[in-house]
Amino acid sequence: MTEKELKKMNRYQLLSLLIAQTKRADELEERLAEAEKKLKDRELSFASLGSLAEASLQVSGVLEAAQEAADLYLAAAKKQAEEILTQAREQASADSRAEEADETQV
């Protein structure tokens, strides 16, 4: 509206226009607040994505360390099993020779 058109308006019309403009300003402020909230939420989402990536790398490191520990444990268990198997074979061989010696003496 031009200034000339505003000067031609009576008080009631001016007041109605002022009320309408106030309502419009309030609506725009609400929309702005919503947009700012959405922006803040997105910023937090992007920040958490960075945190998730860092956490993923840390978990990956933990998993690698756990795998190394499991591999070491498995190697130690295999070595121990081989030692036990060797001792059992030696014992069985000794028992077998002892039985043969007993049989030849009888």
Beta strand segments in the chain, E: none
- pTM for the structure as a whole: 0.43
Per-residue pLDDT in tens (0 to 9) along the chain, 106 residues: 788 888 888 889 989 999 999 999 999 999 999 999 999 888 877 777 677 777 777 778 788 888 889 989 889 999 999 999 988 888 888 888 888 877 777 6
Helix (H), strand (E), coil (C) string for 8-30:
HCCHHHHHHHHHHHHHHHHHHHH
Q: How many domains does the chain have?
A: 1
Helix count and strand count (H, E) for the chain: 2, 0
Cα separation of 80 and 72, whole Å? 12
What is the predicted pLDDT for the residue at 35? 93
Residue 40 lies in domain: 3-105
Cα separation of 58 and 52, whole Å? 10
What is the predicted pLDDT for the residue at 6? 81
What is the predicted pLDDT for the residue at 4? 85
